């Protein structure tokens, strides 16, 4: 048996269509807006934490070099730090390396000397110099002329370091801020709220 089908045309009325389009438009607009907001928000948070990781990296680099350092000086604007560190590893061109090239890349045996301020342990006749500085959006670490970019961000990372000399030692205090990309009227708290602080002491007796 065959069912009888209706031949009457079926469709939405104009008012139904308009209502459906209106609702769809609202839903689509809301989805689009929230997606964009979500994407912006995610991007901002990702950027925030990415830059925060770079803050930690700068602090860790600085602390490592200060701990093994002999002298630390900071510039007047607190944005350039110069650290003198022992020449622990024999480099090509060093006197030991010239005498025996096989020693390149090996740890150096220290020599001792007595100075008016007590015993001094020296790794080689010279020391290395490590400089931390800002170049544009990047934080640079330069060791004996070799430049390494240790942090780079469009978030205006600003490290500031002071060094405080004590009788035999010295310590540095570093604070690093950045400007998050999501803003709220340019309030001061936007930058200050991102501050990471660090203090590091020389492990060696201060030489300068």
Footprint on this chain of other proteins (rule: CB under 8 A): 1, 3, 38, 42, 46, 49-50, 52-54, 56-57, 60-61, 64, 67-68, 85-86, 88-89, 102, 105-107, 109-110, 112, 114, 118-121, 123, 138, 148-152, 203-205
CB of 118 or CB of 185, closer to other proteins:
118
Nearest distance from C-beta of residue 73 to other proteins, angstroms:
19
Phi and psi at residue 83, in whole multiples of 5°?
Answer: -125, 130
Q: How far apart are CA 72 and CA 80, in angstroms?
A: 11
CB of 50 or CB of 95, closer to other proteins:
50
Q: How far apart are CA 35 and CA 5, in angstroms?
A: 45
Q: How far apart are CA 32 and CA 36, in angstroms?
A: 6
List all residues 6 or more positions away from 163 whose beta carbon is below 8 Å from its beta carbon.
72, 73, 74, 81, 170, 171, 172, 173
CB of 16 or CB of 60, closer to other proteins:
60
Nearest distance from C-beta of residue 65 to other proteins, angstroms:
9
Q: How far apart are CA 26 and CA 33, in angstroms?
A: 10
Q: Is the dihedral of CA 41, 44, 46, 52 positive or negative?
A: negative
Residue 195 CB neighbour total at 10 angstroms? 13
Nearest distance from C-beta of residue 39 to other proteins, angstroms:
8
Nearest distance from C-beta of residue 183 to other proteins, angstroms:
22
Nearest distance from C-beta of residue 18 to other proteins, angstroms:
19
Pair 184, 190: CB distance under 8 Å:
yes
CB of 64 or CB of 191, closer to other proteins:
64
CB of 186 or CB of 208, closer to other proteins:
208
């Amino acid at each position: 048996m065959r069912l009888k089908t209706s031949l009457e045309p079926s469709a939405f009325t104009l008012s139904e269509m308009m209502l459906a389009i209106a609702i769809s438009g609202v839903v689509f607009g809301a989805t689009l807006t929230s997606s964009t907001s979500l994407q912006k928000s995610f991007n901002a948070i990702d950027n925030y934490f990415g830059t925060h990781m770079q803050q930690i990296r700068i602090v860790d680099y600085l602390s490592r070099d200060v701990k093994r350092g002999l002298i630390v000086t900071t510039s007047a604007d607190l944005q350039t730090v110069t650290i003198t560190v022992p020449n622990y590893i024999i480099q090509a061109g060093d006197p030991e390396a010239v005498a025996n090239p096989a020693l390149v890349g090996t740890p150096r045996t220290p020599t001792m000397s007595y100075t008016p301020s007590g015993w001094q342990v020296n790794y080689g006749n010279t020391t290395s110099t490590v400089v931390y500085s800002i170049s544009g959006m990047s934080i640079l670490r330069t060791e004996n002329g070799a430049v390494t970019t240790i942090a780079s961000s469009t978030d205006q990372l600003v490290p500031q370091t002071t060094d405080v000399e004590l009788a035999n030692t010295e310590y540095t205090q570093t604070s690093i801020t950045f400007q998050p990309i999501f803003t709220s009227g340019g309030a001061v708290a936007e930058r200050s709220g991102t501050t990471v602080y660090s203090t590091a002491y020389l492990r060696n007796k201060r030489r300068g």
